[in-house]
Amino acid sequence: MKQYNTRAIMASLLICGFVGMFSETALNIAISNLMDVFRISAATAQWLTTGFLLTLGILMPMTGLLLQWFTTRQLFIGSLVSSIVGTLIAALAFNFEMLMVARVLQAAGMGLLIPLMFNTILVVYPPEKRGAAMGFVGLVIMFAPATGPTVAGLLIEYFTWHYIFWLSLPFLVIGLLVGIKYLENVTEVTKPRIDLLSVVLSTIGFGGIVFGFSKAGEGSEGWTSTVVITSIVIGLIALVLFILRQIKMSDPMMDLRVFKYPMYNVGLLMVLSCMMIILSSMIILPMFLQNGMKLTPFTAGLMLLPGSALNGILSPRMGRLFDKYGPKWLVIPGLIVVAVTLWFFSSISTTSSVAFIVVLHIGLMIGISMVWMPAQTNGLNQLPSELYPHGTAVMNTLQQVAGAIGTAIAIIILTSGMENYLHDSSAPTQQTEVANAMTAGSQHVFLFAMIVTLVGLALAFFIRRVVVNHSAMNSIH
């Protein structure tokens, strides 16, 4: 195996990944502030998040193809230029349209960078060291979005929301310079034929589904909205056509042979269930803390920081344990921890103590760190090397879809839980009753997340450690 300067390569990828993921969630705290500044409605402001997710949903399926068309350095520089230009425009933005363009550019940068990060790890690290390397990616993917709201809360309190982007900019530039100096071309450029119909079907398919579910989660009409139903139906039809086309093609845009590998499928399902658990609880918990318990955004952000920090710190450790012992001894206990904490979460109320919620959140995040990276690495390890770009593209794309679906379901469960509570209430407009309704809705969401966890736990009993045989590259014991 060729020797690479793995430390420098990882440093440049992780710095840029961290800043990208940070700015994805940092803006969420600023949404209500932006509604006042730009005089826009909540539905319009929501586009700053929906647009970001939509760009990722459209771009991610194409990354398998892009990784075969462009060198590692070209993709890295392209993704960072897009992120830097987007961040600069956002920092200078004086109206909503300008900020929206900036978000799309930032998302395009992230959409290229994350699959590139996974793919590079699979190429530059031998299988027995991949767990620890993937753990560092886990640190970025989990810890960066978690610090976003806390840091943004502070910046908004003392400066303006523009500083969220001014803070990110120098780090992106440093990451780019380190990457230009040390990042080598690790992938093979084969330039497969680009099938335009596949690109169009994938864009309409994944884009339609992500957009439909994002819209379902934000409007008062929810699932009954014509826009939601139409975009999900069109998305599903396009997706079916896309799949049929990929199966028939000799050189597909997204190689669906990855689904022939059983541990890849188990790993993928574990990652998707983690994504739904994290996103449904991470959206509802801050809302409950701010609207139910009447805490400030900054306090709510601080309460979620210990759990998220621990998750980030533990990810590389869990990766090393995975390298040593395999996935089963991490994934099964991890899911049990997650299920127990969600069960306790489903009984929280406005009288719950801050310490109790912080401890539960820490438990939840530790459990997730035991599941996510080990399951993901084990699954990707089973693929032969020529399927790495496709395996990471499928996993990253479906994570975006699962994220959009998880978020939408969480918001819908929350809203219907609140409506049912207020419907039976004698004083539905009283502040205390609204807070109680928020509690009732949140409890339902945590129960939903617990059911997802139990399904994941049932699956976890099928996980087996993949033995990477370099000649066959896909045997299992």
Residue 350 backbone dihedrals phi, psi, to 5 degrees: -65, -15
Tokens of 21: 């993921």
The Cα–Cα gap between 320 and 324 comes to 6
The secondary structure element, H or E, covering residue 103 is helix 96-124
Are 179 and 80 within 8 A, CB to CB? yes
Distance of CA 255 to the CA centre of its chain: 22
Number of H helices, E strands in the chain: 16, 0
Mean pLDDT lowest among 15-24, 212-221, 361-370, 438-447: 212-221
The Cα–Cα gap between 389 and 196 comes to 19
What one-character DSSP code corresponds to residue 430? S
Higher per-residue confidence, 189 vs 173: 173
Mean pLDDT lowest among 31-40, 67-76, 138-147, 275-284: 138-147
- Collapsing DSSP to helix, strand or coil, 476 comes out as strand
What does the pLDDT look like over 410-433, one tens digit per residue?
Answer: 888 888 888 888 888 888 778 888
Give the global pTM: 0.83
Does the pLDDT value for residue 474 go beyond 50? no
Distance of CA 375 to the CA centre of its chain: 15
The Cα–Cα gap between 51 and 211 comes to 9
What one-character DSSP code corresponds to residue 194? P
The Cα–Cα gap between 101 and 453 comes to 37
The Cα–Cα gap between 57 and 209 comes to 9
What does the pLDDT look like over 395-411, one tens digit per residue?
Answer: 988 988 888 788 788 88
Does the pLDDT value for residue 178 go beyond 50? yes
What does the pLDDT look like over 81-113, one tens digit per residue?
Answer: 999 999 999 999 999 999 999 999 999 999 999
The Cα–Cα gap between 394 and 314 comes to 26
Average pLDDT over residues 182-207: 88
The Cα–Cα gap between 337 and 324 comes to 21
Q: From 3.30.1380.10, 3.90.550.10, 1.20.1250.20, 3.40.50.300, which CATH number describes the 255-477 domain?
A: 1.20.1250.20
CB atoms under 10 Å from CB of 69, counted, come to 14
Spell 430-446 as b/e; 16+ CB within 10 A means b.
Answer: eeeebbbbbbbbbbbbb
pLDDT for the residue numbered 143 = 77
Are 473 and 351 within 8 A, CB to CB? no
Sequence letter at residue 138: G
Query: Architecture of domain 1-192 in CATH?
Result: Up-down Bundle (1.20)
Are 391 and 258 within 8 A, CB to CB? yes
What does the pLDDT look like over 106-128, one tens digit per residue?
Answer: 999 999 998 888 888 888 888 88
Higher per-residue confidence, 245 vs 21: 245
Are 245 and 256 within 8 A, CB to CB? no
Does the pLDDT value for residue 234 go beyond 90? yes
DSSP bridge partners of 466: 476
